[in-house]
Amino acid sequence: MNAIEESLPIFAKQIDNARRQSEEAILALSTRFRGIVTSLDAAVAASEKGSGDGGRDLVGAMEDGKRQLLKVVEALEAVRSGRAALIEEIRLLAAHTRELGDMAQEVELIAFKTNMLSLNAAIEAAHADGDVGRGFAVVAQEVRQLSVESRETGKTIGRKISVISDALRHIVGVNEQAVAAEDAAVKDSEMRIASVLGHFGGMTERLLHSAENFRNESEVIKDAVMDSMVQLQFQDRVGQILSHVVGSLGDLAATAGASDDSGATEAGGGGASDYMAKLVRTYTTDEQRRIHDGTAAVAVAPQAAEFF
Amino acid sequence: MAKRILIVDDSASVRQVAGMALTRAGYEVVEAVDGEDGVSKLTGKLHLIISDVNMPRLDGIGFLKAVKANSSYKFTPVIMLTTEAGEDKKNEGRAAGAKAWIIKPFQPQTLIDAVAKLVLA
């Protein structure tokens, strides 16, 4: 056995060993890449779920919150409007009490006039003689008593109306203060709600923007990783080429051995041509054929599918 | 329900790239490491088969012939995914019943588009 016969199987084993190591390393790398893509997919899905179907749930929740808070303001505004209407009713009532006050004064005036009339009647009774004069004096006295009582009643009515008027003015004053306070509260609530909604709106927008950035960046990373995985396909081609080299080295060793046995000094004659023919026949890639023909090997770019 | 696709390739990294691309596109993927393994995986409903050509034990053309000889799968479309660019081999695949030929390295989208076209057809 010459050096070529002895070394060829060793070369074949060395190349095959290198091919296996390369294949194992590429597979490990590809597995890691696949894990990265799967993790990114899970992270993007979690991000979409967290911000609610691309953020629509979050925006919907914000809009719902805004509607609910505006209803609170509307309720406050309704209370304020109701109180303002009540003040108007009380003001109308106060106007009626003024008329009642005037009527009470008129009662007093009538009583005064009646009193004057009774005084004149008493004088006329004094001028009359006998029983007629006495009877007329009694009637004049009773009329005077009635006028005094009427005047007192008129004054009492006036005082009561005054008390009621004061009470109504007080009620109106207190209510006007309450309306002013409620007005301020409604405005303050509107301002605070607008501020809170603005704050949360800003946060929501930043959150959505951040989630979108994350998803976009994740897509870029995934594309890069996927592209790297595509590039790793070189291993399949290299593996096939090296396997072919290993197989061919085995064939060469056999051919060389056969030549030795037949007394030839080198691999030549029919053995060599058969060997070379098999070499060409068993190529699986274009670059193997190009190299064999002495043409420069070119990198194979991904191509479109060919349909039959 | 996801459509099932059988990928037959002796290269684990190719099975990974193709499998991941198809899984992400919504397909269910079954893997086989060579033609013989592929024949043993011819069970249940398969909507499409993707096969390498140069594989140990039973090569892609042999596997393709086995698929077409099986009455349950004779109409299942088969895509050959291979480094083999020679016209002779391509014609051999066409004659054996392959529907498409994709040369490695491939872009995942090229494979997904071809699968979508043939699964619908």
Per DSSP, the residues of A87-154 read: HHHHHHHHHHHHHHHHHHHHHHHHHHHHHHHHHHHHHHHHHS-HHHHHHHHHHHHHHHHHHHHHHHHH
Amino acid residing at A209: H
pLDDT at A270: 65
- Taking contacts as CB-CB distances below 8 angstroms, the residues of chain B near A240 are 54, 83
Sheet strands (E) in chain A: 306-307
Q: Which of A56-60, A274-278, A282-286, B113-117 has the lowest mean pLDDT?
A: A56-60
Query: Where in the sequence is the domain holding A227, given as residue range(s)?
Result: 3-232
Q: Is residue A90 part of a domain?
A: yes
Contact A305 B83 (CB under 8 A): no
pLDDT digit string (tens) for B94-110?
Answer: 999 999 999 988 888 99
- Taking contacts as CB-CB distances below 8 angstroms, the residues of chain B near A229 are 13, 16-17, 20
| Mean pLDDT value of segment A235-239 | 85
- Taking contacts as CB-CB distances below 8 angstroms, the residues of chain B near A304 are 110
Taking the CA atoms of residue A294, residue A297, residue A298 and residue A299 in that order, the dihedral angle to the nearest 10 degrees is 170
Question: Chain B residue closest to A234 (CA)?
Answer: B105
* Count of domains forming chain A: 1
- ipTM (interface predicted TM): 0.89
Q: Is residue A12 part of a domain?
A: yes
What is the C-alpha to C-alpha distance for residues B6 and B14, in angstroms, rounded to an integer? Answer: 13
Q: Is residue A287 part of a domain?
A: no
Q: Is residue A246 part of a domain?
A: no
Contact B105 A233 (CB under 8 A): yes
Query: Regarding beta strands B28-32 and A306-307, do their DSSP bridges make them parallel or antiparallel, or are they unpaired?
Result: unpaired
Min CA distance, A182 vs chain B (Å)? 60
- Taking contacts as CB-CB distances below 8 angstroms, the residues of chain A near B11 are 23, 235-236, 239
Q: Is residue A305 part of a domain?
A: no
- Taking contacts as CB-CB distances below 8 angstroms, the residues of chain B near A301 are 105
Q: Which long-range contacts (CB under 8 A, 24 or more apart) does A197-206 make?
A: A197/A62, A197/A65, A197/A66, A197/A69, A200/A62, A200/A65, A201/A62, A204/A55, A204/A58, A204/A59, A204/A62
- Percent of all residues in chain A with a pLDDT value above 90, rounded to a whole number: 13
Helix axes A286-293, A269-281, angle to 10 degrees: 140
Q: Is residue A241 part of a domain?
A: no
Sheet strands side by side (includes A306-307):
A306-307, B100-103, B78-82, B48-51, B4-8, B28-32
Min CA distance, B34 vs chain A (Å)? 14
Q: Is residue A258 part of a domain?
A: no
Q: Which of A42-51, A138-147, A239-248, B36-45 has the lowest mean pLDDT?
A: A42-51
Residue in B7, B10, B13 to test binding to A, most A beta-carbons within 10 Å: B13
Min CA distance, A237 vs chain B (Å)? 6
Q: What CATH code is carried by the domain that includes residue A105?
A: 1.10.287.950
pLDDT digit string (tens) for A253-292?
Answer: 887 776 666 555 444 456 788 888 888 888 888 888 888 8
Amino acid residing at A104: A
Taking the CA atoms of residue B98, residue A291, residue A244 and residue B89 in that order, the dihedral angle to the nearest 10 degrees is 20
pLDDT at A266: 47
H or E, element range at B102: strand B100-103
pLDDT digit string (tens) for B12-36?
Answer: 889 988 998 999 899 999 999 999 9
pTM: 0.63
Separation of CA B99 from chain center:
10
pLDDT digit string (tens) for A65-116?
Answer: 888 888 888 888 888 888 888 888 888 888 888 888 899 899 999 999 999 9
Q: Is the predicted pLDDT of residue A224 greater than 90, yes or no?
A: no
| Mean pLDDT value of segment B38-56 | 94
Say which of B16, B24, B110 has its CB closest to residue A302: B110
Q: Is residue A249 part of a domain?
A: no
